[in-house]
């Protein structure tokens, strides 16, 4: 009937007179109902009759098989639970038996009070979960969707590896650039130091190669000119000592 009470049924678990909806039925609207610790997803269709309108209600039991079908469509693990005046009830799940047992035990512990989201605490170490009303806001059936934590974190792990590789690559490039610049800057200074050592022992044969036009290049040119001057002066002294009479 339009008030949600069953007049005729082919499903033995729902007897005539059972109320399947707390709200007036609307043709084509999805609804969920809970009866005898079982939940059902239904859709009502209005059927006009001579003695008044009735509603044809079709649906399915919300349980493990139903959850597995939803999981196959979404690619996520799915659970169903209620949150109504009679207490919390775990309806079914596509989780493996061990995780399903955790959910059932947690739900039973929370059956008569508390926040339902706490029922997920024991599986949060393995899954990322979210909760939403299922099928319609006019009902007390909640859909819990779970994704394995390693799958959920995979994109972040890839990002972490990418950032790590990027930082290492950047560090290598920076160190290479520093090495190149330090080599370019210190090579003329090393050449100048070697030239000073040769000059102290009287070796004037090798000059500093001037490859830059900056301050270091100017210093190298001045040093080469000084080396030429010292060499020429020593040659003049030797020549004079050989030609002048004693």
Please report which confidence band the pLDDT of residue 80 belongs to, taking 50, 70 and 90 as the band edges: confident
Each residue's pLDDT tens digit, 180-231: 887 777 777 777 777 777 777 777 677 777 666 777 777 777 777 887 777 7
Taking all residues of the chain, what is their mean pLDDT, rounded to a whole number? 76
Q: What is the 3-state secondary structure (H, E, C) of 105-127?
A: HHHHHCCCCCCHHHHHHHHCCCE
Please tell me whether residue 244 adopts helix, strand or coil conformation. Answer: coil
Residues in CB range of 151: below 8 A, 6 or more apart: none
Token pair of 228 as six digits = 């030429």
Under a CB-based contact definition with an 8 Å cutoff, are residues 54 and 47 in contact? yes
Please report which confidence band the pLDDT of residue 6 belongs to, taking 50, 70 and 90 as the band edges: confident
Round to the nearest angstrom and report the end-to-end CA distance of the chain.
145
pTM: 0.51
Distance CA 136, CA 122 (A): 28
> Average pLDDT of 29-34?
78
Each residue's pLDDT tens digit, 219-231: 777 777 887 777 7
Token pair of 113 as six digits = 């009070």
């Amino acid at each position: 009937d339009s008030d949600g009470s069953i007049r005729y049924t082919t499903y033995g678990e729902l007897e005539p007179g059972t109320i399947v909806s707390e709200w007036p039925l609307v043709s084509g609207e999805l609804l969920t109902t809970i009866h005898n610790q079982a939940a059902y997803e239904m859709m009502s269709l209005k059927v006009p009759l001579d003695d008044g309108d009735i509603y044809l209600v079709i649906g399915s039991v919300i349980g493990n098989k139903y959850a597995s079908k939803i999981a196959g469509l979404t690619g996520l693990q799915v659970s169903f639970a209620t949150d109504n005046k009679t207490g919390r009830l775990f309806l079914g799940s596509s989780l493996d038996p061990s995780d399903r047992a955790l959910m059932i035990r947690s739900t039973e512990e929370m059956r008569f009070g508390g926040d339902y989201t706490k029922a997920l605490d024991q599986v949060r170490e393995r899954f990322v979960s979210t909760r939403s009303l299922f099928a319609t806001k006019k009902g007390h059936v909640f859909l819990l969707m779970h994704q394995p934590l390693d799958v959920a974190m995979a994109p972040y792990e890839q990002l972490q590896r990418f950032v790590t590789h990027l930082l290492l690559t950047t560090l290598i490039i920076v160190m290479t650039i520093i090495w190149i610049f330090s080599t370019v800057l210190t090579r003329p200074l090393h050449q100048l130091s070697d030239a000073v050592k040769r000059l102290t022992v009287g070796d004037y044969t090798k000059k500093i190669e001037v490859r830059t036009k900056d301050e270091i290049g100017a210093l190298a040119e001045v040093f080469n000119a000084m080396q030429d001057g010292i060499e020429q002066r020593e040659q003049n002294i030797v020549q004079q000592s050989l030609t002048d009479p004693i």
